[in-house]
Amino acid sequence: MKFTEFNNILREGARIDHAEDIIFWEGSAGAKRVIDSIIGLAKGNTQSLTIKWDGSPAVIFGRDDKGDFVFTDKSGFVAKGYDGKSKSADDVEKMLLSRGKGQPNDSYKVFAGNMKSVFPVFENAIPKDHRGYFKGDLLYFNTPQESNGAFTFKPNIVSYTVKTDSDIGKRISVSKAGVVIHRIVDPDGSEKPLTDYDIFQGSQLLVLPPVTVQQPPEVDMSGVNNISAIVTKNSSALDSLLDKNKLREMKMTDFSNVLYQYVNSKTDSGLDNLGKDFMMWLQNSNVSAPKKAKMTEYVKTNIKAFSALWQVVSGIMKVKDNIIDQLEKQPADVKASIGNKPGGEGYVLAHPTGDIKFVNRAGFSAANRAVQR
């Protein structure tokens, strides 16, 4: 496979959208599939709802066309100007320490050493006859510490506690490194979810299987029905507002992305009253002056649909956050926390049209954005 093909693969399909953001990209149909998915949870269909692991760093590993093992991080895999596809433990450490400007600090040296130490663990887990790559996030470089009948590890923002006598806990106890896989990339460039966890050899590398939600939440159906009514009443106006062809003709193809950026910015200042300060935010944003003028006029012309859009976004967010709050309080073999507060990155709801992310933006998203990297 050519380098450029893999470069494209790494960019495509990586982002799972927040439940409330899907309307930006899919219009009223997207809002309806989110609503239907939430109703499914209320009916007890929780088999497709799994914990979203907060791993770090993002890693890519596997065997190339010749069968040579490659282990690197995401930046290394798509690097230009240096060979980031490390094929030995020494190579990965050297690659990490040599890139960038200036001398690496002590913590980065430790990170590079950790990547070196787990290289053979990952290599031994991949069969010699395998071809293709796995994309995932590291969860731990060494067997986690055990205390009070549980293993604890913190790969990024979220701390995880896993009962030692649980199935996952027993597998952690005999492992040396842990990883969660997001996608498998075949030699022909096709990308798909990992379904065969038996492909990995030995027990030193623990590839975390999906951890599903066991108990259905009590969904606020009055809130769901209210959102559904708003979408039904305003579906034509919403679809017109977000129509890609019309936005292309107006040279505003990034309108949906600007809406998304606006919501992300609100995780820092507060997610109340979404939409009401959009105009003020837009004027202070990095959007070009001509486009600011276009978008301002466009919103004013379509103010009814614009208002309905934020009613839907806010309504979905409220129902979603209530569901997350309930799930975080359920008894489980895996518990997540940020600082001293219960809760993790959230959950992913598998859907054939596109997975849906259930994340409390005022919790995890705000904490993640606050980290200096």
pLDDT digits (tens, 9 = 90+) for 59-79: 999 999 999 999 999 899 988
Q: What is the rounded CA–CA span in Å between residue 238 and residue 313? A: 12
Q: Identify the pLDDT of residue 370.
A: 54
Q: How do residues 7-31 score in pLDDT, each as one tens digit? A: 444 434 457 899 999 999 999 999 9
Return the closest-CA partner of residue 338 out of 207, 182, 161.
161
Nearest partner of 190 among 4, 2, 9, 58, judged by Cα: 9
CA-to-CA distance for 202 and 320, rounded, in angstroms?
39
Q: CA torsion 112→113→114→117, rounded to 10°?
A: 130
| pLDDT at residue number 61 | 97
- Over the chain, what is the mean pLDDT? 90
pLDDT digits (tens, 9 = 90+) for 210-230: 888 878 999 999 999 999 999
Cβ 358 vs Cβ 323: under 8 Å: yes
| String of DSSP letters for 49-66 | EEE-----SEEEEEE-TT
- DSSP structural state of residue 363: I
Structure tokens at 87: 């094929």
Per residue in 119-133, pLDDT (tens digit) is: 999 999 999 999 999
How does pLDDT run across 333-348, given as a tens digit for each residue?
888 998 888 888 899 9
Sole residue written with tokens 């379509």 = 302
The pLDDT value recorded for residue 217 is 93
| 174-188 per-position pLDDT tens digit | 999 999 998 888 888
Rounded to whole angstroms, the Cα distance separating 242 from 99 reads 42
Residues 143-163 have a mean pLDDT of: 94
Please say if the pLDDT value at position 191 is more than 90.
Answer: no
* DSSP class of 142: S
Q: How many CB atoms lie within 10 A of CB 251?
A: 10
Residue in this structure with the two tokens 């495509």, named with its chain if needed = 12
What pLDDT, on a 0 to 100 scale, did the predictor assign at position 104? 86
Q: CA-based diameter of the chain, in Å?
A: 62
φ and ψ of 295, to 5 deg: -70, -35
Q: What confidence score (pLDDT) does residue 288 get?
A: 96
Specify the DSSP element, H or E, that contains 160.
Answer: strand 159-163
Helix (H) or strand (E) holding 41: helix 22-42
Tell me the C-alpha distance between 55 and 181, whole Å: 10
Contact 34, 109 (CB under 8 A): no
Number of alpha carbons in the 13 Å side-chain half-sphere of residue 294: 16
Of 245 and 47, the one with more pLDDT? 245
Q: Which residue(s) pair with 152 in the sheet?
A: 145, 161
pLDDT reported for residue 306: 98
In the numeric block, the tokens 């093992």 are attached to 69
Instruction: Kindly state the tokens that stand for 246.
Output: 């019309």
At 37, list the tokens.
């998915």
Strand-pairing partners, residue 181, are 136
CB 177 within 8 A of CB 118: yes
Give the separation between CA 32 and CA 26, rounded to whole angstroms: 10
Name the pLDDT band for 251 (thresholds 50, 70, 90). Answer: very high
Contact 164, 170 (CB under 8 A): yes
User: Of 3-12, 188-197, 353-362, where does mean pLDDT reach its minimum?
Assistant: 3-12
